[in-house]
Amino acid sequence: MRIGIIGLGLIGGSLGRDLCLNPENYVWGISRNESTCEQAIAMQAVHFAAQDISQISQLSQTNLIFICTPIAAILPTIAQIAPYLSPQTVITDVGSVKVAIVDAAEKLWDRFIGAHPMAGNAFSGIQAAELGLFQGRPCVITPNTQVNFQGDFQDNFQSSLDALNLVRQVWQSLGAVIYECSPVAHDCAVAWISHLPVFVSASLIQACTEEVNPIVADLAKHLASSGFRDTSRVGGGNPQLGRYMAEYNREALLLSLEKYQLVLQAAIAQIQANDWQGIEELLTQTQVNRSAFLD
């Protein structure tokens, strides 16, 4: 298969490294920086890389293009490459939000299928790319309603289904566990398990580092151990990614933050009321719920 990757960072580079292991694949990549192109070739994340789509000689034979840029650049990238592609090419993305991308992307390219691999590490850029990053990890594919639509748009339905199968098959070949849902369901679910935790964790870091007593602040720093390390990890990650979660998944994130605020407010009220039995019951419930949720 001929595959293109635009945006050779952590996710694009990791995808490329896995895809290049299959001798039946030819993988080209686009990065804005020459040094990233050189590094991607050297680490066998692509067979060929260039800074501009017009330099890709295999373009018209490309079966599938992954857009792996930051969220804000996904739609402009599709609009930029569309005039150069063969109509059969399927475009997919890896963006962490889907509602803001999928509808608009399908208007730009009818063989677009949104996806979001739930994998990563604390780093960014091509040097962070890992082999086997997606092995055993969920990958959410978000076909929109058109894919299930039958009737006047039968031809469109057929081509979308074939595009969906291609995207599904490639992620499966990388060992990902596939989930399929609507873009809205995806965005609400990731608000709970990915976007809300970033803002809870960031608020923890911010509140803790605003301690005004220098003796307490210094002592807390020295005493901080695995508990603080675990709960502050996602709040100390890539700031641009966190900003895009808020900007592009605003509605779902606000709903989950408001619900979280209510639960926190109830716990504050219990503590203010010396309701220790109620607090123990709450924490007994969350202990059970955590195991059930993660299992």
Residue list 165-184, contact with ligand NAP (CB under 6 A): none
- In terms of C-beta density within 10 A (0-12 exposed, 13-18 middle, 19 or more buried), how is residue 34 classed? exposed
Query: Of the two residues 96 and 144, which places its CB atom closer to ligand NAP in the complex?
Result: 96
Rounded to a whole number of angstroms, the minimum distance from the CB of residue 54 to ligand NAP is 15
Q: With binding defined as CB under 6 A, does residue 40 bind ligand NAP?
A: no
Residue 11 within binding range of ligand NAP, rule CB under 6 A: yes
Query: Is 95 near ligand NAP (CB under 6 A)?
Result: yes
Residue nearest to ligand NAP (CB): 9
Pick from 237, 199, 205, 198: nearest CA to 221: 205
- Determine, following the binding rule CB under 6 A, whether residue 9 of this chain makes contact with ligand NAP: yes
How far is residue 29 CA from its own chain's centroid? 19
Residue 194 has what DSSP assignment? I
CB 202 within 8 A of CB 233: no
114 contributes a contact to ligand NAP by CB under 6 A: no
Segment near ligand NAP (CB under 6 A); pick from 70-78, 182-190, 224-232, 283-291 = 70-78
Report residue 211 CA to chain centroid gap.
33
Q: Which stretch binds ligand NAP (CB under 6 A): 10-18, 160-168, 200-208, 252-260?
A: 10-18
User: Residue type for 287, please?
Assistant: Q
Sign of CA dihedral 55, 60, 65, 69: positive
Q: Where are the alpha helices (DSSP H) in the chain?
A: 10-20, 34-42, 71-81, 99-108, 154-173, 183-190, 196-209, 214-223, 226-232, 239-248, 250-272, 276-294
Pairing of strands 2-6, 26-30: parallel
Using CB under 6 A as the binding rule, whether residue 194 contacts ligand NAP is answered as no
Question: What mask, x for binding ligand NAP by CB under 6 A, covers residues 227 to 266?
Answer: --------------x-------------------------
> Site for ligand NAP (CB under 6 A): which residue of 2, 3, 5, 10?
10
Binding status of residue 135 toward ligand NAP by CB under 6 A: no
Report the amino acid identity of residue 234. Answer: V
Residue 7 found at the interface with ligand NAP (CB under 6 A) = yes
* Residues lying near ligand NAP in the complex (CB under 6 A): 7-12, 31-33, 36, 68-71, 73, 77, 94-96, 116-117, 120, 124-125, 241
